[in-house]
Amino acid sequence: MPKITPHLCFDHQAEEAVRFYVSVFRNSRILNVTRYAEGEVGPAGTVRTIRFQLDGQEMIAVNGGPSFKFSDGISLYVTCQTQEEIDELWEELSEGGVKEVCGWLRDKYGVYWQINPAIAWGMVNDPDPDKSRRVMKAIDRMTKIDIETLKRAYAGL
């Protein structure tokens, strides 16, 4: 099976962003850093690529220049087990960024994230269309996702 590794292209903030992400997520680390040499595209000594892990998921970041921009067409979906995890990640990742609707946020580097509870996927895909609709309606009204609100919507309360 091929391995799929998310690859994030920054203007010039790859090192700063990766150090931030590694500080936010448990079980995370920088695996490898390559730097531009004299005469290459980027300023000598600055980061070219960083290979890193966020909670075990391998990723790569690169400083590719100003032509690279993030959009909401691609986001990093984070599955959380508890409300405490949601709250912590929501606050840390959105600091200096933009809190959006339905559990989405854009961090200070422009990367889009979805911070969601593990139970949400099953709820919105429930075979009972009324349950699914109630949960989606509740999610549509939220910025940061609240597990208890989802549970009440799912139960029809």
What does the pLDDT look like over 120-146, one tens digit per residue?
999 999 999 999 999 999 999 999 999
Alpha carbon 101 to chain centroid distance? 14
pTM: 0.92
The domains spanning 1-69 and 70-157 adopt the same CATH topology = no
Domain 1-69 listed as CATH 3.30.365.10: no
The predicted model gives 84-107 an average pLDDT of 97
Residue boundaries of the structural domains of the chain: 1-69, 70-157
Question: Which of 115-142 are b and which e, b meaning 16 or more Cβ less than 10 Å from the residue's Cβ?
Answer: bbbebbeebbeeeeeebbebbeebbeee
Q: Which of 112, 14, 119 is nearest to 60 (CA)?
A: 14
Domain 70-157 listed as CATH 3.90.1150.10: no
